[in-house]
Amino acid sequence: MIQFFDREMFSELKGRASNSERRRANLNIHQSYNDVVQRLFIAMMPDSYVRPHRHVQAHKWEFFMVLEGALDLLFFDDQGVVTDRVTLEPNRQCVGLEIPPNIWHATVCFEPVVFMEVKQGPYDVNEDKGFAPWAPEEGSMEVPEFLAKLKHTPTGTSILSE
């Protein structure tokens, strides 16, 4: 069966994200978490927190492409220094990228965004991510301040700096 993905679907996904406690929502295109390729659309609101993490399995890369809005991907070293910041936006030079395994990264946005993510499966929530020990857990009281830092810390600066 041919699947179509249109602006109406993006709008519905953003609506779900805006009503979600996590302030993001996804639409899985793959049939099962056991599929060898995981394909999903994600809508994210500006106040959604994605804890810095890396994919520790040697074969687990991750592909992002922004379809609406804009998304910043931040990359870090082991001590929490921002080593790179890349803006993905449909009408800019860079619309997508692929992240190799074991690279610390996080996403932030300043406006609602819809992006596509593709990664190798199968997906197992217990093995998918290694979270940065220097970043607060999702839901903790430190998240709003840390998210503000993520949005504004320049390259070459530690996210842990005051």
In a domain, 162, yes or no: no
Domain range for residue 142? 7-152
Inside any domain, residue 2 = no
83 within a domain of the structure (yes/no)? yes
Question: Within 10 Å of residue 162's Cβ, how many Cβ atoms?
Answer: 4
CATH number for the domain including 57? 2.60.120.10
Euclidean distance between CA atoms 146 and 17, whole angstroms: 21
Strands lying side by side in the sheet with 24-28: 24-28, 37-44, 113-120, 62-68, 96-99
User: Is 124 among the domain residues?
Assistant: yes
What is the DSSP pairing of strand 24-28 with strand 37-44?
antiparallel
User: Could you tell me if residue 159 is inside a domain?
Assistant: no
In a domain, 11, yes or no: yes
Domain assignment present for 160: no
- pLDDT, tens digit, 9 for 90 and up, residues 107-124: 999 999 999 999 987 776
- How many domains in the chain? 1
88 sits in which H/E element: strand 82-88
Q: How many residues does the structure list for the chain?
A: 162
Show pLDDT as tens, one digit a residue, over the chain (162 residues): 888 999 999 999 999 999 999 999 999 998 887 788 899 999 999 999 999 999 888 888 999 999 999 999 999 999 999 999 999 999 999 999 999 999 999 999 999 999 999 998 777 666 678 899 999 999 999 999 999 999 999 999 999 876
Give pTM, 2 decimals. Answer: 0.92
Could you give the count of Cα atoms lying within 13 Å of 160 in the half-sphere of its Cβ? Answer: 12
118 part of a folded domain: yes
